[in-house]
A and B are shown apart, each in its own frame.
Chain A
Amino acid sequence: MSHTEKKIANADQIRSLEEMFDAKIARDGKIEPKDWMPEKYRKTHIRQISQHAHSEIVGMLPEANWISRAPSLRRKVALLAKVQDEAGHGLYLYSACETLGISREELYEQLHSGKAKYSSIFNYPTLTWADMGAIGWLVDGAAIINQVPLCSTSFGPYARAMVRVCKEESFHQRQGYEIMMTLCNGTQEQKDMAQDALNRWWWPALMMLGPTDEQSTHTEQSMIWKLKRKTNDELRQQFIDQTVPQADIIGLNIPDSELKYNNETGHYDFGEIDWEEFWQVVKGHGMCNKERISARKKAWDNGEWVRDAAVAYAEKQAESQEAKQAV
């Protein structure tokens, strides 16, 4: 076979693999790490899953900021457990990502260098205890809307991780709402604290669902791979429709003067999102971008000697085991 013929045969083979791959996804089959996959699929999944993992571990920081000051033992324990769940989510997601042929160290390096992104919402500061309620209610609420469709995404390890993550997030969301409800049933000062938190977190939570469909890239391919099942604008509308009645129940006002139920569409109309602020934070100029990354880097750098010690110790143990066996 000539060189050209070989090339053609090879291309044919890839085409046929691709057809099989696409057909498998179309009939809701799962792609597993050892299965053949197009390079673009692998790269896109590494990007999305790692971004998700990074969001979990950077997302620990704004809430961890209140663990030492939680107002009761019950709340302290619940908050610690919640932040620990996020570490757990990070762990499953990094592991899912590692099955695609990239190491955790490389993924951390991408986070620390700014090459990889994480959810911008975590670049906002947590200023009062009510922020723990608002984050659970709104941020975890928006995350669930983003993530539930991923439970049936095409990449097996990601889909399975998402099933567990969503269960826990849904618990966190109820916990956050319960914090808000308690504040709203409390003193005027507590109600004000809850309202202030809603005022600060509402718009960033809407931005979490991503840029408008007009501005969003990658959507079509992501739909085929089931990385995305609804558009950003559809998800955002779903979040608003779900959350507004919840705010009403506890007597909080959504900080949007244009928010109004539309009888014709059956949805809430809402005001203009400040996309300039969104891009400012995405591009690294939010209130806490620098702190968040430097906290992660510091933990990683300060932990280097610890990780080295663990490796050195394991090697010594293995050597002495071998020596024993040799005898």
Chain B
Amino acid sequence: MTNENLIHYIHGIADNSMILGQRISELCGHGPTLETDIALTNIALDLLGQTRSYYQYVAELSPKDITEDDVAFLRKEREYKNVLLVEQPNTDFAYVIVRQYFFDVFHYLLLKELEKSKNVNFQAIAKKSLKEVSYHKRFSGDWLKRLGDGTDESKQKTQQAVNDLWVFTDELFHMTKDDQVVADAGFGVDNSTLKSEYYTMVKSLLKECKLQIPEVKYFQKGGKKGIHSEHMGYILSDMQFMQRTYPDMKW
């Protein structure tokens, strides 16, 4: 296992937190209630905090003299390895919650395994993040219940979000070559082993929420290989605006 394998593996995990954190922070100040606004901002803060820990580790591993901000802001679109799910837009509150829940369950299962990594940095980050992500999962799960089993309108909107976002869930369990190398070395997690527990958990909650489980033959994929949706370019043009417009400055 080379440092390069390890760096690519970390991108695969950290970019999910970065892009989802970015997406959720777009909602700050625009939530349906002040309480949900505060809670969602907390989740964004947790995710961005986790991102910083991972990117600081990448900067340490990199042969170049770089910082967490170079990793966050100065890569090209193809170099971001987040899954397509997290870059999906904040269409409405149902999409926000369903996207969050679909990601949180995966994130929770991943961190539970990553905590057992042979790599002490991963152990430490996973241990800290797991507490946060357990809360995220509870928050999104509780909202999913309220929306799924609330009014007819909320049910219909939530079912729509479930139907539209379900196609992005399979990619969570894809493994790149780097992922495999790092997993085989006992540092990383083999995501494919999380799949069955993931779908058991998610389907069980959907049933409890009285929502239909979509039947899908063809799933979407690409993000993990750097082939993103059209949304990604806009996310980056916002996120990288300052660094691109005013290069090499300290803020």
Contact = CB atoms under 8 A, between A and B. Distances in A.
A61 interface: yes
Contact of B29 (A64, A74, A75, A314): A64
B250 A309 contact: no
Given A68-B26, A190-B249, A84 B42 contact: yes
B25 interface: yes
Contact of B35 (A70, A91, A179, A183): A91
- By size class, the interface of chain A is 35 or more
Contacts of A303: 31-33, 36, 93
A94 interface: yes
B187 interface: no
Contact of B151 (A60, A76, A305): A305
Which has the most chain A C-beta neighbours within 10 Å: B22, B37, B48, B242?
A: B37
Interface string B107-136: 000000000000000000000000000000
B151 A312 contact: yes
B25 A67 contact: yes
A184 to B, nearest CB: 12
Most buried by B among A77, A183, A308: A77
Given A68-B26, A69-B242, A310 B250 contact: no
B16 interface: no
Contacts of A310: 146, 150
A1 interface: no
A198 interface: no
Contact of A182 (B28, B49, B250): B250
A254 B25 CA distance: 34
Interface string A79-105: 011011001101100100000000000
Interface stretch (A10-18, A282-290, A294-302): A294-302
Contact of A68 (B32, B147, B238, B249): B238
A302 B90 CA distance: 12
Interface in B123-169: 145-147, 149-151, 153-154, 157
A19 interface: no
Interface string B20-46: 001001101111111111100110110
A4 interface: no
A188 B25 CA distance: 31
B238 A94 contact: no
B251 A75 contact: yes
A305 B30 contact: no
A314 B49 CA distance: 33
B179 to A, nearest CB: 24
Contacts of A311: 150
B220 to A, nearest CB: 24
B48 A77 contact: yes
A306 B249 contact: no
B238 A189 contact: no
B108 to A, nearest CB: 22
A107 to B, nearest CB: 11
B41 A129 contact: no
A13 to B, nearest CB: 40
B151 to A, nearest CB: 5
Given A94-B34, A298-B30, A77 B52 contact: yes
Nearest to A179: B251
A302 B28 contact: no
Given A76-B25, A305-B153, A308-B151, A313 B145 contact: yes
Contacts of A308: 150-151, 153-154
Given A187-B249, A190-B249, A299-B31, 14 more contacts: A57-B29, A60-B29, A68-B22, A71-B73, A71-B251, A73-B68, A77-B48, A81-B45, A83-B29, A83-B41, A84-B28, A84-B41, A309-B154, A313-B146
